[in-house]
Structure 1
């Protein structure tokens, strides 16, 4: 499922699929966002790669990070852990 509108009818796609190859960046949860948010990314890659990266961290450190997926959607450590357990997760 993508979180950005398609160009047809300008509605988010809701086909039950998740776009694991979408571009994403890893951020500290407390980086403050803002105009220069893109420059604060610690790591970039596909969404699936970054989910794997966060899940490889010690559990006590995961809450310090979020993944910002294309479309300005931020995923918290709890959401990342839930996504990593999906049947369609390529990790």
Structure 2
């Protein structure tokens, strides 16, 4: 789940598993994204922190939010909840 190559020619950049320390932001699901998307984040931190924040919301409100991970990957509710259920989730 590495967000993008970080070295010349991407030699040795693949790390297996979930990179819980990658940068991530919590967003409203319907914030429109676009060129000002970086300023629309509600909270920012590591992927682990944002998954924990998302899971702290009541279940009936979770469809209102997404997590945008570094590398332009948007995680929706199902993906976030499956990450939170992993044995290696730091917040478990």
Q: TM-score, normalised by structure 1?
A: 0.88
What is the aligned partner in structure 2 of residue 84 from structure 1?
84
Return 5+ residue gaps in structure 2 as ranges.
none
What is the aligned partner in structure 2 of residue 7 from structure 1?
7
What is the aligned partner in structure 2 of residue 56 from structure 1?
56
Q: For residues 18-68 of structure 1, give each alpha carbon's deviation from its aligned partner in whole angstroms, at most 9, with x where no partner exists.
A: 110111111000001000000000111111011001101100101100001
Which one has the bigger helix percentage?
2
What is the aligned partner in structure 1 of residue 37 from structure 2?
37
Q: TM-score, normalised by structure 2?
A: 0.87
Return 5+ residue gaps in structure 1 as ranges.
none
What is the aligned partner in structure 2 of residue 73 from structure 1?
73
Secondary structure at 1:63 match in 2: helix
- Runs of 4 or more, structure 1, over 4 Å off, are none
Structure 1 vs Structure 2 CA RMSD: 1.8
CA distance in 2, matches of 1:86, 1:8: 32
What's the CA shift for 1:15?
4.2
CA distance in 2, matches of 1:42, 1:33: 13
